[in-house]
Amino acid sequence: MTDWRLWVARVAAPIALAACAQAWAQPLQQPFICRTEEAGLGQPLVDNQQGIGHPVFDADRKLLGHSQYCNVHTRVLRFYYNGSRFKTYDANDPPSDMRTVAVNGANVPFVVRVEVGTINRFLYTIAMLEPAAWNRKLVYWMRGGVGIGHQQGIPMWVNERLNSSERVLMPKLLEQGYAVASSSGNETGVHYNMALAAQTALQTKARFIEAYGKPQATIGIGGSGGAVQQYMFAQNQPGLLDAGIAIQSYPDMVTQTIPISDCPLLGLYFKEEAERNPASPWAKWRNHALIQGMNASDASTECITGWRLAMPTVLNPVFKDPKFDAGAKQYGYPANVFANVKWTHWNDLADVYGTDARGYAPIPVDNVGVQYGLAALAQGSIGVEEFLRINACVGGWKEQAEFVDFDKDADPFDSRNMKRSASCRDPAGTPSPRRAGDVGAMQKAYSSGHVFTGQRLGIPVIDLRPYLEPKLDMHNARQSFSVRQRLLDANPAEAGRQVIWFTRRDEDLSMRVMEALPVLERYLAGGTASAEFTDKCFDSGSTLIAAGPSVWDGILDRKPAGACTRAYPIYSSPRMVAGGSIKGDVFKCALKPLDAALADGTYPSGVQFSAEQAAWLRRIFPQGVCDYAQKDVGRP
């Protein structure tokens, strides 16, 4: 089947096809490494002799042709469950360690039938118990990560490939009769193009409907980028999912670049201050939280432990994972096949953002007017001189054409790619320049559906997360509330469709997922939320701390802290400390003149600037400072 539009229109009309018209415009990205051999599925099928795509060879390494679609023949694989993992099943040699599962009142061998094939250049799987005991409900499973495209990814199941959480949850889902569909195109570690991800999910679901029938409900499950996809699909592709369990969520990926782009800039400043003066408060890691907002320990910060290696894939066009060159060499691509690729998220979506004459996509990262540490100044945690010095020296990121490769060992903060001034610490010196983001890129991030605005959710979502703040993990707890605040501000009626569940440990997630599924199913069956569909938090194991609409009080309002708020403290971000909101959705702040800021209470009454300090402030912010009471300048 080569024309997917006709095929999906024929078999999947119920999936809101009118809403996905834009998705069909996705071009075929080249170069693009097919990974079917790594998946144990053999080489992809030859589909052209024009040298387009992946080279395909015979047994003697003679070139047979090329594959631009990465297709393989659809096949069925079988796996059995031995109580701890799924293993390849051979009916002619039944294993001695196979478990049984109850189907229609009888115990039968725990064997899973997995269909695997290619859809939209990605590898999909559909898993069900065999003999079929489908409960008429489909779980669409999505994986996380941060990828820059140019490769097909590896599917679930094949060659017994399941990650640790999947090995725990798949037996529970399958023994209850759920079908589980997935695609390597719905793994954000492969790519972060949400239009392409939606297109792939639509086509994969259409294949499921054609082969097995229309499910009564399709429930999304996935963590991190897999949770992002659920919010994106709910907003952009109504009808694709009926409900979701968004684990370790973010509202979207692109707005995470706003505060995280600050992390290395601030980290380098703290490092230099500590080197200049060992008695500096910044010599202690915990003090970094005053400015960065995120949690910190005596040994590190979330900016370091969670996010240090994230920024190169956002900003640095020459920072390439060496696996790409290794894969290209292994598969017989020309040595320079990736020479013209710009390795950033924005360039990966060049069809969305466009490119300049040198082939660079515009980048929205912007920190003009951002007053780092403003809340710390207001609280008296830092003084005026320190506030001014931070903002004079923090600087900004260079433009893409100026970037050099990232060396995390020699230059862990990537300072060679920052705009710096040697005299920034001198009140009479030159402040380090800030970076102005591309407003057109910001607008296209919104218009292409890569920003979760909160205007539409449309499905019930249980936003579930373990509390990872003590680990300084990048999946920080405020993200669930960022989603909620966007919903409350854009469409309060939609906020009631999201509930937030916290649990203390990663190990308890599978238990929570299996509790969440029947709650969502009852919601879908009855059309309204039951009493169980409410905010909750758990301690370890099955211990419920509290449930109900007030448990998270004090985070998004001024009420006394609720029981869950007290149990699981929420931290902030550099932009929140600078005056922004928990929504974290302002790419470029509107600016107000310093005269207005000095007069309107931007700085608390107890903070006084001397004439020299006021002059320094003006040199740091010649265009004015952020006015977060106004909307994002980059929003269409």
* Domain chopping of the chain, boundaries: 4-28+71-215, 257-437+589-627, 450-569
User: Is the confidence at residue 574, as pLDDT, over 90?
Assistant: yes
Cα-atom radius of gyration of the chain, to the nearest Å? 26
Taking residues 608-628, report their average pLDDT.
97
d(CA 54, CA 77): 25
Residue tagged 């170069």 (tokens): 31
User: Is the confidence at residue 622, as pLDDT, over 80?
Assistant: yes
Give the pLDDT confidence score for residue 435 in this predicted structure: 98
User: Is the confidence at residue 467, as pLDDT, over 90?
Assistant: yes
Secondary structure tally for the chain: helices H, strands E: 22, 20
Surface-to-core class of residue 318, CB atoms within 10 Å of its CB (0-12 exposed, 13-18 middle, 19+ buried): middle
d(CA 311, CA 152): 23
User: Is the confidence at residue 22, as pLDDT, over 50?
Assistant: no
Nearest Cα to Cα of residue 293 among 591, 617, 584, 631: 584
- Detail the DSSP E strand segments found in 424-551: 461-466, 498-503, 536-538, 544-547
User: Is the confidence at residue 10, as pLDDT, over 70?
Assistant: no
User: Is the confidence at residue 297, as pLDDT, over 60?
Assistant: yes
Label residue 311 by pLDDT band (50, 70, 90).
Answer: confident
Using the CB atoms, write b or e for 123-137: b if 16+ within 10 Å: bbbbbbbbeebeeeb
User: Is the confidence at residue 440, as pLDDT, over 50?
Assistant: yes
Give the pLDDT confidence score for residue 175 in this predicted structure: 94
Judged by phi (left if over 0) then psi (alpha if -120 to 50, else beta), residue 535 lies in: beta
Residue-wise pLDDT tens digits, 492-510: 999 999 999 999 999 999 9
8 Å CB contact between 564 and 537: yes
How many other C-beta atoms are found inside a 10 Å radius of the C-beta of residue 554?
A: 15
- Detail the DSSP E strand segments found in 426-480: 461-466
User: Is the confidence at residue 20, as pLDDT, over 70?
Assistant: no
The fraction of the chain above a pLDDT of 90, given in percent, is 92
8 Å CB contact between 113 and 76: yes
- For residue 585, what are its two tokens? 């959705």
Taking residues 20-30, report their average pLDDT.
59
Task: Report the interhelical angle of 384-393 vs 262-276 (nearest 10°).
Answer: 120
Between 20 and 372, the higher pLDDT residue:
372
The fraction of the chain above a pLDDT of 70, given in percent, is 96
Give the pLDDT confidence score for residue 632 in this predicted structure: 97
Give the pLDDT confidence score for residue 544 in this predicted structure: 98
- For residue 573, what are its two tokens? 């971000």
d(CA 190, CA 349): 13
d(CA 72, CA 62): 20
d(CA 439, CA 430): 26
Query: Residue 113 gets which letter from DSSP?
Result: E
Give the pLDDT confidence score for residue 15 in this predicted structure: 41
Contacts of residue 601, defined as CB under 8 A and 6 or more positions apart, other chains included, come to: none
Give the pLDDT confidence score for residue 132 in this predicted structure: 73
Residue-wise pLDDT tens digits, 117-167: 999 999 999 999 987 789 999 999 999 999 999 999 999 999 999 999 999
Give the pLDDT confidence score for residue 3 in this predicted structure: 41
Residue-wise pLDDT tens digits, 583-615: 999 999 999 999 999 999 999 888 999 999 999
Taking residues 99-109, report their average pLDDT.
88
8 Å CB contact between 69 and 86: no
What are φ and ψ of residue 502, in 5° steps?
-115, 145
Sign of CA dihedral 398, 383, 570, 600: negative
Nearest Cα to Cα of residue 325 among 63, 59, 31, 122: 31
State whether residue 219 is helix, strand or coil: strand
Q: What does pTM read for this prediction? A: 0.95
Mean pLDDT over each residue of the chain, to the nearest integer = 94
Using the CB atoms, write b or e for 274-313: b if 16+ within 10 Å: beeeeeebbeebebbbbbbbbbbeeebbbbbbbbbebbbb
Give the pLDDT confidence score for residue 26 in this predicted structure: 58
Torsion angle, alpha carbons of 407, 408, 409, 414, to 10: 70
Cα–Cα distances in angstroms (integers) from residue 232 to residues 135, 354, 483, in the given order: 27, 22, 11
Nearest Cα to Cα of residue 504 among 543, 532, 474: 543
8 Å CB contact between 432 and 388: no
Residue-wise pLDDT tens digits, 371-413: 999 999 999 999 999 999 999 999 999 999 999 999 999 999 9
Pairing outcome for strands 396-397 and 179-187: unpaired
